């Protein structure tokens, strides 16, 4: 006799409403989504495991936001903050031309951060002292699947812009580690690397 045990991810809409979406720049409907894994026995969900993700998702642009966005204005989607942090990881000396940075942010569907936002992110990065993988583990709970892919795309675009192709082996390893931290399928970084271009 054998026993089939495993986990299943389930999502639940806690509530919905209207909020000011910083990406759409107008009032939009949102859903407050909570995801958790369930322990399964013979594919039957039995025990709830701790909550794995909780976020707001705009019904129009499908970006994910931290739940506090309902109470605040002018917040960026969660992926934007992560992309900025990753930009700083790949641009420690700031040697990438502004037009290339602008092209990458446009490709991602976001707004290029201004100088004060970059300085604030640099200071946060220094104060935080977490490596990029731990940082991503901490923010994963506020991301939807589209946000996870945007972060991976940001990594790949900045890496290509900074190092050219083919990417050096240590950079490829870091990209794969980031994809794994975001709980994306193995090999997806290599697949997306072939199709992405910031120009």
Q: What is the pLDDT of residues 6-49, one digit of tens each?
A: 888 888 898 888 888 878 878 889 999 988 888 888 888 888 88
CA 143 – CA 66 distance, rounded (Å): 8
pLDDT band at 199 (very low <50, low <70, confident <90, very high): low
Residue-wise pLDDT tens digits, 50-98: 877 888 899 999 888 887 766 665 467 888 888 888 888 776 555 678 8
Q: Calculate the CA 112 to chain-centre distance.
A: 16
Total Cβ atoms within 10 A of residue 188: 17
Instruction: Please identify which residue in the block is written with the tokens 């709830």.
Output: 48
In this structure, what token pair is assigned to residue 96?
């990438």
pTM (predicted TM-score) = 0.73
Whole-number pLDDT of residue 60 = 92
pLDDT at 197: 76
| In the chain, domain spans | 5-70, 78-195
How many CA atoms lie within 13 Å of 113's alpha carbon, on the beta-carbon side?
Answer: 20
For residue 113, give the nearest of 132, 138, 94 by alpha carbon: 94
């Amino acid at each position: 006799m054998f026993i089939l045990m495993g986990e299943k991810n389930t999502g639940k809409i806690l509530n919905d409403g209207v909020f000011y979406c910083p990406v759409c720049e107008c009032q939009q409907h949102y859903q407050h989504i909570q995801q958790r894994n369930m322990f399964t026995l013979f594919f039957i969900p039995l025990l709830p495991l701790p909550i794995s993700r909780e976020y707001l998702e705009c019904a129009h642009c499908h970006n994910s936001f931290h739940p506090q966005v309902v109470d605040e204005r002018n917040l960026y989607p969660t992926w934007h903050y992560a992309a900025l942090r990753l930009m700083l990881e790949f641009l420690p000396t700031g040697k990438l031309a502004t037009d290339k940075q602008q092209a990458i942010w446009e490709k991602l569907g976001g707004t290029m951060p201004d100088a004060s936002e970059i300085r604030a992110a640099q200071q946060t990065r220094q104060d935080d002292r977490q490596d990029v993988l731990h940082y991503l583990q901490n923010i994963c709970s506020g991301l939807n699947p589209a946000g996870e892919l945007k972060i991976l795309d940001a990594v790949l675009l900045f890496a290509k812009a900074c190092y050219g192709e083919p990417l050096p082996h240590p950079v490829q390893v870091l990209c794969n580690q980031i994809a794994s931290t975001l709980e994306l399928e193995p090999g997806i970084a290599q697949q997306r690397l072939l199709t992405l271009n910031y120009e």
